[in-house]
Amino acid sequence: MAETRLIQGRYRLLELLGRGGMGEVWQARDESLGRRVAVKCLKPAGPHRQGHPLSTAIQERFRREARVAALLQHRGVTVVHDFGEDEGVLYLVMELLQGRNLSQLLEAGGHRPLPVEEIIDIAEQVAAALAYTHDQGVVHRDLKPANIMRLGDGTVKILDFGIARLAHDIGFTSRLTGAAGMAMGTPHYMSPEQISGGGGIDHRSDLYSLGCVLYELATGVPPFDMDDAWAILVGHRDTPPEPLRTHRPEIPEPLERVVLDLLAKAPEDRPADAGDLSTRLRGSRAAAEAAGPGRGNGSASDGAGRGTRTGEDGESGEHGRQHGKESGEAGLPPWAAGMTRGARSVRATRTTPLGRPEDALLRTWPPTNGTAPAPATAAPTWPERGTGHGIAVHGTSAPAPGGTPGPALSYGPAGGAPGAPHAGHHPFSHAPPSFHTPPHSTHPPHPYAPPTSPPDRPAAPQHVLDAFAGRHDAAVSLARLGRWEEAAAAHRALAAERAAALGGDHPDTLASRHQTGLCLARLGRTAEALEEFRTAAAGRERRLGREHVDTLAVRQETAYALGQLGRHAEALEVYGGVLADRERTMGYEHPDTLRCRHNLAYTLSRLGRYEESYRVASEVTAVRTRVLGGDHPDTLVTRYEVGHALGSLGHWEQALATYREVATARAATLGRDHPDTQAARYEAGICLGRLGRHEEALGHYEALIADRTQTLGTRHPETLRARHIRCVTLGRLGRWHEALTEAREVTAVRERVLGPEHPDTLAGRREIAVALGWLSRWPEALTVHREVARARERTLGASHSETLSSRHDEAHCLEQMGRTAEAAEVYRLAASRRASG
């Protein structure tokens, strides 16, 4: 591929995804963080247009888009990573998505309507996203099928808040629109108030546009689908839309009513807001389900998809076009004179390294050095996950290796697992790594880097480099599919071949080693991953320098792996060095600097340095709140860490308030059932228990168990952990018979799912013994405590704190049974092992 532009010295433009009148969208590689992104660039105005009102307004709109979009953090809204200006080019960096927009979906199906169930699912997800954005004071103003993306997993996202505006700042946008003479919106989906050009545009305009989208999904064409823009605008302003069931009788009446109400000419006649719409959509779903599988899934009637609509007054499309032109002086704004209908849909595919065609993200919009290349076939648009930076972050938001969600069980001291740090503890949780293709030797080196080819080794032939790059991409694809074993083996083999051909310290060789480590970490093979990270870090320090972004990334992975292995003092030392280098080269408020400081706070807490952990986490929270907003996921994960530190310091009321705030914010942005939301709810329950509010804690856990059972299932470890702590809470309330029954049920499932000697299984068996003891069934309790002690000794070692705690449980039982001499011997043995350990 020909060399393309490097935006801001960071974003390497790789492949053109789409072009519009004002700019282009490219697939790009973030050279600093090693991830694929979408970069939207505004075309330079050119010398003859500089200072022109249109040029100025477009630039102002673009900057506004960036600021507004960066505020939005919701699963139904495209994530914006960065924006700025480079040599006169305004650019916006967004997540790269895998899927198709609704326009592409319709085009691929020959504009046949979608199944009713799918229409309702899309509508519910868009309504949820609009409810969030409208609550933030943001109105999209250009909602249309091309701006709604359906990902491969069924998730729906709203794209391109390019002409959104903050509701409290209507005057600015109105002035901008008037000065430029631009139409904001697309004719097929514009609300009557947008067409009239008045100042009364609010969130209900988006609801009208959504109604147009749903009408098209249900019938195959928009509600007013003439060839002339004037006729379309007049239709929106003056003509009632035809009922959906006229063209597709199987549409449930409640769904038809919802869509027609959305298309009401007067905003006050539409649903009050997106929340109201969501409620009505649930009724439509129930009606569709009641209709049975034979209804609502067929093709549209013959009238759908023809591109001509007949209004109630009998006007055909041709008559409407004439009427529209004659009505130009009767209320249509001057800017509409030059409007065209616009393209209906665009679609492109390509083959991935694994040979699979993947639908690509196509959007309008950064030029190369001089001239833009011809449109290229879109590349696979892998979704970014987790932090998206290949940098480990301690928190609660990502699955642990092997796919188990990160938040682990926190046990209180009474009847809980011995040796737990405190009730607010949460474990290391690794954000899924960003697998990416590294820059290979055809690319210009990073400013920190020495010449690309080592002086003692000739450059490899281009076809060899290309073959290596293809294999690297294939291994990356395996990882993205969750095939970690195969990906690790592929990266490891490629690292060996790259070392032989290019040298052990070549950037590509080191990138393969880094990727090998990431795969091994996901497989739980942390010690092996650590060796790969250390080798890659040492090589990058020699080759690229200690402060190169790639070196810093793998050094931070090294620290994370050390923490996972329980070597927290070593991890703290590495984090301290990385943090100093990041602050010096990137600045205090750079996202990667803040991630490192977050991890530092977590590691301090693992070392029992809670005051320092609280201080660092509070500082990071303050910066993230100011820069990203209080409800941003990164801000919330650090506030979660603040709650952890507060609990460790015994400030349980403050910890409870913090966890509740985090849970509420996560529920609003991620959903009530998201694992991160449930993790914060779990910790809030721990705080209630530590405050002695056991009845309240019990009800809290029962609600959490119900939610986890519904979303994760009865056998999921997180469901079982919630049931375990409910068992502990029952004991604290003195309801020991119920506690014993619950502990036996949970332990039996854990033995089948996790294994008989898994730490969670052993914690459950200990809870059985505790309940037996409180019921004065000491011989049975002794038997179980001894079994747990022997199992922990086998798996953890004789001197481990949890093994020793089990020995103390055993001695306590012996004392209760009057066998004091045996109890004394067990205590003595535990003391000697603690001293030797």
Q: What confidence tens digit (pLDDT) does each residue in 548-560 have?
A: 989 999 999 999 9
Please give the helix or strand (H or E) that residue 28 lies within, else none.
strand 23-30
Tell me the C-alpha distance between 578 and 580, whole Å: 6
pLDDT value of residue 73: 81
**Please, which residues bridge with residue 28 across strands?**
13, 37
pLDDT for position 672: 87
Helix (H) or strand (E) holding 726: helix 717-732
CB atoms within 10 A of CB 801: 14
Parallel, antiparallel or unpaired: strands 89-95 and 35-42? antiparallel
What pLDDT is recorded for position 218?
94
- For the chain, counts of helices (H) and of strands (E): 29, 13
Residue 456 burial by Cβ neighbours in a 10 Å radius (0-12, 13-18, 19+): exposed
What does residue 236 show for φ and ψ, rounded to 5 degrees?
A: -60, -40
- Confidence at residue 350, expressed as pLDDT on a 0 to 100 scale: 28
Annotated catalytic residue within 142, 505, 508, 676: 142
Over the stretch 349-396, which tens digit does the pLDDT of each residue have? 322 222 322 222 222 222 233 333 333 333 222 222 223 223 334 443
Q: By mean pLDDT, which of 132-141, 191-200, 271-280, 543-552 is the weakest?
A: 191-200
Output the pLDDT for position 43.
Answer: 63
pLDDT in the model for residue 746:
95
| pLDDT, averaged across the chain | 76
pLDDT tens per residue, range 96-154: 988 889 998 888 888 889 989 899 999 999 999 999 899 888 888 889 998 999 988 78
* pLDDT of the residue at 321: 29
**Predicted pLDDT at 197:** 65
**Given this model, what pLDDT does residue 444 score?**
30
Give phi and psi for 371, each to the nearest 5: -125, 145
pLDDT of residue 198: 57
**In the predicted structure, residue 322 carries a pLDDT above the cut 50:** no
User: Residue with structure tokens 């209908």?
Assistant: 341
pLDDT digits (tens, 9 = 90+) for 62-86: 777 677 777 788 889 988 888 888 8
Mean pLDDT of 311-324: 30
| 89-95/80-86 β-pairing | antiparallel
Selected residue with higher pLDDT from 237 and 437: 237
User: Predicted confidence band at 194 (pLDDT cuts at 50, 70, 90)?
Assistant: confident
Other C-beta atoms lying within 10 Å of the C-beta of residue 499: 18
- Kindly provide the b/e burial profile for residues 336-352, where b requires at least 16 CB atoms within 10 angstroms of the residue's own CB: beebebeebbbbbbeeb
Q: Residue range 562-589: average pLDDT?
A: 92
**Looking at the DSSP assignment, which residues form a beta bridge with residue 546?**
none
pLDDT (tens digit per residue) in 718-736: 999 999 999 999 999 999 9
Please state, as a whole number, how many other Cβ atoms lie within 10 Å of the Cβ of residue 811. Answer: 23
Determine the Cα–Cα distance for residues 448 and 764; give it in Å rounded to an integer. 53
Q: What is the pLDDT of residue 58?
A: 62
With 90 as the cut, is the pLDDT of residue 407 above it? no
| 3-state secondary structure (DSSP) of residue 587 | coil
Q: Decide which of 634 and 18 is more confident.
A: 634
Q: Degrees (nearest 5) of the Cα angle 446, 93, 380?
A: 85
DSSP-based three-state secondary structure for 744? helix
pLDDT tens for 213-230 read: 999 999 998 999 877 777
For 232-264, b/e burial (b = at least 16 CB within 10 A) is bbbbbbbbebbebbebbebbbebbbbbbbbbbb
Per mean pLDDT, which range of 107-111, 396-400, 827-831 is the poorest?
396-400
Q: How many beta carbons lie within 10 A of that of residue 286, not counting itself?
A: 13
Question: Which of the 8 DSSP states describes residue 145?
Answer: G
Residue 15 token pair: 């492949």
Rounded to two decimals, the pTM is: 0.50
Query: Between residues 463 and 762, which one has the greater pLDDT?
Result: 762
Whether the per-residue pLDDT at 264 is higher than 80: the answer is: yes
pLDDT confidence band for 162 (50 / 70 / 90)? low
The sign of the CA dihedral 718, 719, 722, 727 is: negative
Full DSSP string of 212-250: HHHHHHHHSS-SS--SSHHHHHHHHHH-PPPPHHHH-TT
The average pLDDT across 752-772 equals 94
CA distances from 300 to 227, 305, 435 (A): 21, 8, 43
Active site residue 676: no
Mean pLDDT computed over 328-345: 43
pLDDT of residue 399: 31
Q: In this predicted structure, what is the pLDDT of residue 22?
A: 61
pLDDT, tens digit (0-9, with 9 covering 90-100), for 168-187? 333 333 333 333 333 445 78
| For the chain, percent of residues with pLDDT exceeding 70 | 73
Contact 775, 740 (CB under 8 A): yes
Please tell me the predicted confidence (pLDDT) of residue 295: 42
Which is more confidently placed, 178 or 712?
A: 712
Structure tokens at 279: 């409620």
What is the 3-state secondary structure of 69-122?
HHHCCCCCECCEEEEEEECCEEEEEEECCCEEEHHHHHHHCCCCCCCHHHHHHH
The listed range with the strongest mean pLDDT (299-308, 335-344, 416-425, 514-523) is: 514-523
Q: Are 543 and 438 in contact (CB under 8 A)?
A: no
The pair of structure tokens assigned to 225 is 């689908």
Query: pLDDT of 440-490, one tens digit each?
Result: 332 333 323 333 334 445 677 888 888 898 888 888 878 877 889 999 999
Contacts of 109 (CB under 8 A, 6+ apart): none
Tokens of 325: 């032109």
Q: What is the pLDDT of residue 202?
A: 87
Which helix (H) or strand (E) element contains residue 358? strand 357-359
